[in-house]
Chains A and B, each alone.
Chain A
Amino acid sequence: MRDLSKVTWDVIVVGGGNAGLCAAIEAAESGARVLILESAPKTYRGGNSRHTRNFRCMHDGPLSVLTGTYGEDEYFDDLIRVTKGKTDEALARMTIRTSEDCLPWMEAHGVAFQKSLSGTLSLSRTNAFFLGGGKALVNAYYNTVEDLGVTVAYDAEVSHIAIEDGAFTGLDASIGGTVTRIEGRALVLASGGFQADLDWLADAWGPAARNFLIRGTPYNRGVVLRDMLDQGADSVGDPTQCHAVAIDGRSPKFDGGIVTRLDCVPFSIVVNKNGERFYDEGEDVWPKRYAIWGRLVAAQPEQVAYCIIDSKSINDFMPSVYPPETADTIDGLAQRLGISGTKLRETVDEFNAACRDGTFMATDLDGLATEGLTPPKTNWARPITEGPFYGYSLRTGVTFTYLGLKVDRTARVSVGAGRLTNVWAAGEIMAGSILGEGYLAGFGMTIGTVFGRIAGQEAAAHVA
């Protein structure tokens, strides 16, 4: 690769995930000379976008693979429900409205969509699925930027952004171990959150965070985010919070992605290390509850819990990536899971005694609830009696963090009193502006695409 420091780039994009790629495409199509600095090696390029699978899109009437209509108000209501109001309404509505134009733009830039996947029919109206998932989208965009003549540097970690008199002048990047100063006229920051920096996570959340698993890329360490905050950039989002779900406890520390999810909680009882239940496993259908279980498990000793299932329920949920632990007796299962057999048997017996007769329906709230049990199980409560018995360990899996840079509707980053002259942000690094709490499936990609495109257009217009 030629010496990147010899060129004054029109637009430098930090981060080669969905948002950064959208920005690079827009800027390059406007004629700008663009450099993407991607901290991951080529095989792991794309940040968390490589683990995504769909794009939540407003549309009036059927659009591409999307059925029916999904209007602005319904979309916004869905957002309010998950964020409990922690959003910037003007930015959110702008994002929602722009999403409709984005889908055809994505198709025109190489993204192929497919109908919603089996088991996700509930999303066929609201979410367009990427054929092959997020990595295929990332590949398509890398091919597009290559065709547009954009330069991409992999293994390029940006450590410092130089800002003088409210304007970006250059940055320090370590490329293949050598720190280089690279100069540019406009900057787009799209380098994600900080969830892969376990020290930062532990500072923010508490020491328990060291036992969390990081579902996505190990390259989102928030180096640029912290550097910008240290230089006084305005922030949004709760700095202590992350989006966390309960995943298979045996998953890799990083990058386990979609397959590590476990959908068995509603059909099981969940106990902690001490063999005690701690929450209503049947409170609601799993898609509406999986996100709270990350926190629930995080609050248990050693941040671990165990799902206990019997043979009646083993086929009622999506297959798991690792086979469950199995034993013919509850004691045997406890032994395999490394918890007290006596205690687990007590918990199971107590639960079984509280179950009552009724009709079990795996896909609906069946009202099959326990009686006189604390905490109760309010749906799908069937006694755990038929061996062999199965067990999964659960751990907290972090998806993303909320802390980010504050932006305006042109994606421009601000510092105290004023906006920076030539710095824009897109994607996870600014998503906290809109998504202050919770998560809405496919909305991260919407924020990344909408703001990536805006940032790229604005940056290119600035240098034109």
Chain B
Amino acid sequence: MSLDNPPTLTATQEARRQVEICNACRYCEGYCAVFPAITRERAFADGDITQLASLCHNCRGCYYACQYTEPHEFALNLPAALAEVRVESWERFAWPGGLARVFQNSGVALAGALVAGIAVLFFALTALAPDSGDGFYAYLSHAAMVAIFTPAFVFPLVVIAMGLRRYWAEVGGTRITMADLKTAFGDAARLRNLSGGAADGCNFEKGDRYSQARRHAHHAVMYGFLLCFASTSSGTVLHYVFDIQAPYGLLSLPKLLGIPGGILLTVGAVMLAWLKTKADPELGAPSVWGGEMAFVCLLGATGATGLALFAATGTGLVAPLLALHLGTVLAFFLTTPYSKMVHGFYRLAALVRDAQLRD
């Protein structure tokens, strides 16, 4: 019997090998939800490994605390093993799967999508320029925007919903209760699994030193994104329900939500990108490093171009900046089911499933 790691192990098999060693050790129980979840089982089906992988927030506390990392013959690197399983599962759950592989493995492809999006917008600008209209609608009619963005918004959501159904079946999820959702959203809202438990944060950009930087940066991006989303939603409501049309004033709901949101999103994304350059790529899934980085940049660019567009109000830069911003947003939406953006959906699903299993 040997624990040698033959090169033929799949990502799931390799993660299982490691998780079984963790289950005989249990020193890391205090870091995050993954370890208590491991100790609830004795044997790990493929779906169990998928669930553990999605639950892992890659805080890396367990790696730096592990007495069995290489060159030890057990060769544990649980954050990397679970990251590989996550990447594989996202490709498996995405439809069509090939697209996910392209986007995850290649930041260039993601950037390409961005460029393509912008090009489409420029084309739309010239071809569909309205005869009249205020603000943005002077450049692109409201109808044209709706015609472009409605499918671009709905299509990714449909694909993600399909993926989540597959995920739920694979991990053996049961009927979801309000209590499950409350626990899961509470964990997500506080990023409990990046907190390091009793430690002050996670291990990312400073090796084995603990730091809250990644958690704070992620908070900025997540809440910034949600504020931006709320801003757009409030604009939609104002437009359709109250017949109040853009452009909106500085003290309007879309601006009050959108400006801080854009700032948080941009600053957070810059921080996340910087932190990513400082962290050891071998503790994640190295093959998708570029795709992840491109995703963070794309996310930051949606915020930054939005702010720039706002700053350019009334100048000749509105037309190109509008195209740039809308193109970025379009690229972001369209790539959502295939980019690192899906992590939010699957991780939330994993937290819901963990809440079900916890009691």
Contacts and interface: CB of A to CB of B under 8 A. Distances in A.
B26 to A, nearest CB: 5
A177 interface: no
A132 B42 contact: no
Contacts of A395: none
A257 B68 contact: yes
B3 interface: yes
B222 to A, nearest CB: 25
A371 B201 CA distance: 57
Interface string A272-284: 0000000000000
- A115, A130, A131 pick with most chain B CB within 10 angstroms: A131
A318 interface: yes
A43 B71 contact: yes
Contact of A117 (B27, B200, B208): B27
Interface in B234-278: none
Contacts of A112: 30, 196-200, 210
Contact of B67 (A65, A117, A134): A134
B198 A319 contact: no
- A43, A136, A250 pick with most chain B CB within 10 angstroms: A136
B20 A319 contact: yes
A18 to B, nearest CB: 14
B65 interface: yes
Contacts of A139: 64-65, 208
- A114, A252, A261, A319 pick with most chain B CB within 10 angstroms: A319
A118 B24 contact: no
B188 interface: no
B26 A131 contact: no
A255 B67 CA distance: 9
B21 interface: yes
Contacts of A102: none
Given A319-B23, A320-B24, A321-B20, A250 B1 contact: yes
**Binding site of B, secondary structure by majority: helix, strand, loop or mixed?**
loop
Contact of B42 (A65, A315, A322): A315
Given A114-B198, A131-B197, A43 B27 contact: no
Contacts of B1: 250, 322-323, 325
B67 A257 contact: yes
B245 to A, nearest CB: 55
Interface string B54-72: 0000000110111111111
A132 B28 contact: yes
B39 interface: yes
Contacts of B139: none
A382 to B, nearest CB: 20
A113 interface: yes
A259 B198 contact: no
Contacts of B170: none
Given A114-B197, A321-B21, A50 B29 contact: no
Assign chain B's interface to a size class: 35 or more
B73 interface: yes
A150 to B, nearest CB: 16
A406 interface: no
A114 B30 contact: yes
Contacts of B70: 43
A319 B25 CA distance: 9
Interface string A320-362: 1111010000000000000000000000000000000000000
Given A118-B26, A118-B29, A315-B42, A135 B20 contact: no
Given A131-B197, A321-B20, A50 B67 contact: yes
Given A43-B69, A250-B1, A321 B31 contact: no
B209 interface: yes
Contacts of B24: 258-259, 261, 318-321
B25 A136 contact: no
B25 to A, nearest CB: 5
Contacts of A131: 30-31, 61, 65, 196-199
- A117, A132, A315, A322 pick with most chain B CB within 10 angstroms: A132
A135 B29 CA distance: 14
B209 A132 contact: no
Interface in B11-26: 20-21, 23-26
Interface in A74-108: none
Contact of A133 (B65, B72, B74, B197): B65
A322 B23 CA distance: 11
A311 interface: no
Nearest to A114: B30
A315 B40 CA distance: 12
B62 A143 contact: no
Interface string B66-105: 1111111110000000000000000000000000000000
A133 B27 contact: yes
- B25, B67, B70 pick with most chain A CB within 10 angstroms: B67
A53 interface: yes
Interface in A250-277: 250, 252, 255, 257-259, 261
Interface string B272-306: 00000000000000000000000000000000000
A117 B68 CA distance: 19
Interface string B27-60: 1111100001001001000000000000000000
Contacts of A133: 25, 27-28, 65, 67
Contacts of B196: 112, 131
A323 B20 CA distance: 9
B208 A119 contact: no
Nearest to A318: B24
A132 B21 contact: no
Interface in A28-69: 43, 50-51, 53, 65
B3 A132 contact: no
Contacts of A136: 61, 64-65, 199, 208
Interface string B131-163: 000000000000000000000000000000000
Contacts of A113: 198
A82 to B, nearest CB: 23
Given A114-B29, A143-B209, A135 B65 contact: yes
A322 B67 CA distance: 17
A318 to B, nearest CB: 7
B238 to A, nearest CB: 49
B67 A51 contact: yes
Nearest to A50: B67
A259 B208 contact: no
Nearest to B66: A135
A136 B63 CA distance: 10
Interface of A: 43, 50-51, 53, 65, 112-115, 117-119, 129-136, 139, 143, 250, 252, 255, 257-259, 261, 315, 318-323, 325
8 contacts: A43-B70, A53-B27, A114-B30, A114-B197, A119-B26, A131-B30, A315-B42, A321-B24
Given A112-B30, A132-B61, A319-B42, 12 more contacts: A112-B198, A117-B26, A118-B29, A130-B27, A131-B65, A131-B196, A259-B21, A259-B25, A259-B68, A319-B20, A319-B24, A321-B20
Q: Which 8 pairs from chain A and chain B are nearest by CB?
A: A132-B65, A114-B30, A133-B27, A136-B65, A259-B24, A321-B24, A139-B208, A112-B199
